[in-house]
Amino acid sequence: MKRKIVFFIAFVFIISQVHVGAQSIAALDRVEPMNWFTGMKNQQLQLLVHGNNIASRAISINYPGVQLVKVNKVENPNYLFIDLNINASAKPGKFDISFSSNQKKEKKLTYAYELKEKNTSTNRAQGVTNKDFIYLLMPDRFSNGDKTNDIVKGMKETTLNRDSMYYRHGGDIEGVMNHLDYLKDLGVTAIWMTPEIENDQPQASYHGYAGTDFYKIDPRYGTNELYKSYVEKCHSIGLKVIKDVVPNHCGNEHWFMKDMPMKDWVHPWPKYTQTTYKDQPAMDPYRSDIDWKLQVDGWFVPTMPDMNESNPYVATYLTQNYLWWIEYAGVDGFRIDTYPYNDLKFMASWMTAVKTEYPNFSIFGEALVNSVVSQAFYCEGNMINQGFDTKLPGVTDVAVKEGIYETLNGKFGWTSGASKLYSVLSEDFVYKDPTRNLLFMDNHDMSRYYSMVGEDLAKYKIGLSILLTTRGIPQMYYGTEILMKNFSNPDGLVRFDFKGGWEGDKENKFTAEGRTAQENDAFNFVRTLANYRKNNEVLQTGKLMQYVPEDGVYVYFRYNDQKTVMVIANPEEKEHTITTARFEQRTKGFTQATNIVSGDNITIAEKITIPAKTSWVLELK
């Protein structure tokens, strides 16, 4: 998530305002995780308990299979961290956690804790892979399905204004659920929403990246139960769900920021200190300690305190939270926000904990870095000796994105134009598995793809042809299929509403009748290619063979034992004729081809002429 998301928020940071014991709280305010599960491979569970002077009380538990191992007291007497062992014999059920006091005037407190049976259904936590096509959306900007939750009294932001990019617009989970058939028809197989958890911030709460309760869906989006129903509905029609998670930071209005367990629950600084947003210190063999500390421990912005992941209590709290969401809702994958600013050793242990419980689960990290080798540094099994393995399966592939843009907008040369993309993919040897990288052209932090290619529909089609046919996991930002446009500056218009998602909208882009002829052309192009990809493993798991671009024309193949697909991309301003003998290694034995998008048949002759600014995706016959 880029800085510009929240830079407009003019809060003054005063570290002295964040302290322990800062407010009046209930005798027993909360227990987190609020419930847990039997049958987990890791039998250790640590409960965070918050309540007024809760540390003065004695703890007792009596339930078969549950052992009270240790009660940890910390700086703030309003917290206890209770270590339990949930052994294999423990059965689902409820039991009381008792908090007794030696003060006669204080009543005994109890919390009814529940152990639920771990769900072993095969369509949960199933993983998102290179067989999928991801659709990224911002729930506040996609569709408003429940107007009753547009404004929730008692929350710090209660303004609803669709004319502003920085106020809430009213979109919600129910609105997304109302349009799952639209996404299914488009060829989407997985949905990634920006964070749905509570963001009770006074401004810009809609984007979701400043969480104020890690265990609660924002009530303006719905409820925990509705989110679980959303995941179940997606699974029932063959769609997977990716949850956007933010272990690096929280919102400064998070409940525990009002009464922190300990001073180093977040990274403390004598005065506000921001991250440098530099990724190089993580891998720089000549780095200074201060540069590394600033990268990892600096706060993202004043309203987003940096979680101290090297604190063992924080590490356990975060790990259990994400395991809880997987088990509770059954989500299939995580996207990790601002990955390079996290403590990488913590992330490696966190990744191990997740994959141990859910081996098929998928994770990719947002690493908006500037080179292939920088991306590979953050991925598991990288070639660089950093003393440990990050365990991160894949990253957001900025290098491929930039290579596609250079192919479309650059002037062809030795290292420019299509040569750039060819060179980027030629460096895939640095990854353990490059097919786990997420491919994208834009997202909620970036100028929209259609604007970045000058609103040129021909270029638009070439780029999406590559995105949907090369190696990796393709992702598309909401509205790209209907040519939504705009630049990230000014005013954040890349987060405009999807027209038709609100009652009373004059246009409904969810229907063919509501789209212009050009928008339908774009929509049908994406739908045709995406559904072909969905139904043909050759574009999912097939091998890739690329050829050095000539005269600006880039040719590559995806192939397996059953099919061969040839992709010809000519972004140049004039037609080009290619000699097929050069591609004999892959074309030998084929005489005909079908253009996947147009349905036209093409003869594989000695020479093929491809028109200017055209891409062909050809299934060879």
Active site residues: 337, 366
Residues composing the chain: 621
- Going by C-alpha positions, the residue among 326, 321, 349, 325 that lies closest to residue 126 is 326
- Going by C-alpha positions, the residue among 297, 326, 293, 323 that lies closest to residue 309 is 297
The total of other beta-carbon atoms located within 10 Å of residue 289's CB is 8
Provide CB contacts within 8 A for 231, sequence distance 6+.
Answer: 241, 329, 330, 331
The encoded tokens of residue 425 equal: 């993919």
Helix (H, G, I), strand (E, B) or coil at 3: helix
Distances in whole angstroms, Cα of residue 19 to Cα of each of 35, 109, 258, 289, 318: 28, 26, 7, 27, 21
Cα dihedral 42→333→432→563 (10° resolution): 130
The total of other beta-carbon atoms located within 10 Å of residue 41's CB is 10
The encoded tokens of residue 60 equal: 């007792």
The encoded tokens of residue 206 equal: 């809609």
89 exposure class (CB count in 10 Å sphere: 0-12, 13-18, 19+):
exposed
Instruction: Tell me the backbone φ, ψ of residue 234, rounded to 5 degrees.
Output: -60, -50
240/362 Cα distance (integer angstroms): 11
555/550 Cα distance (integer angstroms): 9
Q: Are 56 and 77 in contact (CB under 8 A)?
A: yes
199/208 Cα distance (integer angstroms): 6
109/97 Cα distance (integer angstroms): 8
Residue in the structure block whose two tokens are 């050793």: 345
- Sign of the dihedral defined by the CA atoms of residues 498, 501, 503, 507, in that order: positive
504 exposure class (CB count in 10 Å sphere: 0-12, 13-18, 19+):
exposed
Where do the DSSP E strands lie in 164-212? 190-193, 197-198
Helix (H, G, I), strand (E, B) or coil at 423: helix
Q: Are 156 and 162 in contact (CB under 8 A)?
A: no
Q: Are 450 and 484 in contact (CB under 8 A)?
A: yes
Distances in whole angstroms, Cα of residue 223 to Cα of each of 138, 146, 366, 423: 17, 12, 27, 47
Residue in the structure block whose two tokens are 């998102």: 128
Instruction: Tell me the backbone φ, ψ of residue 351, rounded to 5 degrees.
Output: -60, -40
